[in-house]
Amino acid sequence: MSNDLHAGQTLYTPRVLRAYDWVVLGLSNTLLWRCPTTVLRQLYDRNVTANHLDVGVGTGYFLDKAKWPVTTPSITLLDINTNCLDAASSRIARYAPRTILANILTPLPALGPFRSVSLCYLLHCLPGSITDKAVLFDHLRPVLAPGARVFGATLVQGTIPRSSPAQALMDFYNSKGIFSNSRDTVEDLDVALRDRFAFSNIKIKGCVALFEAYVD
């Protein structure tokens, strides 16, 4: 395991997770990334189905707030960090989620099939370029039901405008291996999705790329 990957997942101690919603979803999204958390909630509300996989679960905030299409959705949580799995599964215990401890950068165990998969603020934590980390879409392919949707959001750089404070924080996080998005561009994300999905769409809000894709 590379140092970058290690930093991108060991950051999430119980203490950090207790502050995460307030710092990242409350402050950074609005003030720095210029993508209010309500926009991400709308992305979930548009795309979650009754049979859902969330990858990179964090605190489980979006799963807790999402408007599910049924009262008892089947939800699977997949993460490389047990602290995140514990926090998210406790938070949505009312849905009795299944938890999977796994690295999305390696092939997955037999799971699913799922009708929706979310990847929120995961890609920018993974090492390498978008082309490297897009291998996760290949790992998801065997667990997708026909017509399944894959959606998420990630902080990009390249030509996307960002304020000096936003750039400074991204640079700091990249220097610590918490983020690995210095080479991530919306153009590479577009190619990665088009190469793998029957339909894909990316919208930019602030310096966040929000993507939605479907398989046949």
Ligand X SMILES: C[S@@+](CC[C@H](N)C(=O)[O-])C[C@H]1O[C@@H](n2cnc3c(N)ncnc32)[C@H](O)[C@@H]1O
HSE (side-chain half, CA atoms, 13 Å) at 170: 23
Q: What ranges in the chain are assigned the alpha helix state H?
A: 3-10, 14-20, 29-31, 37-47, 61-65, 82-91, 130-133, 135-140, 164-176, 186-196
Contact 54, 76 (CB under 8 A): yes
Choose the binding region for ligand X from 27-35, 118-126, 156-164, 207-215 (rule: CB under 6 A).
118-126
Residue 216 CB, nearest approach to ligand X (Å): 26
Distance CA 128, CA 182 (A): 9
Site string for ligand X, 58-77 (x = CB under 6 A): x--x----------------
Residue 117 CB, nearest approach to ligand X (Å): 12
Residue 135 CB, nearest approach to ligand X (Å): 11
Distance CA 175, CA 179 (A): 8
Residue 25 CB, nearest approach to ligand X (Å): 6
Which of the 8 DSSP states describes residue 58? T
Choose the binding region for ligand X from 28-36, 103-111, 186-194, 200-208 (rule: CB under 6 A).
103-111
Interaction site with ligand X (CB under 6 A): 5, 8-9, 12, 55-58, 61, 79-81, 84, 103-105, 120-122, 125-126
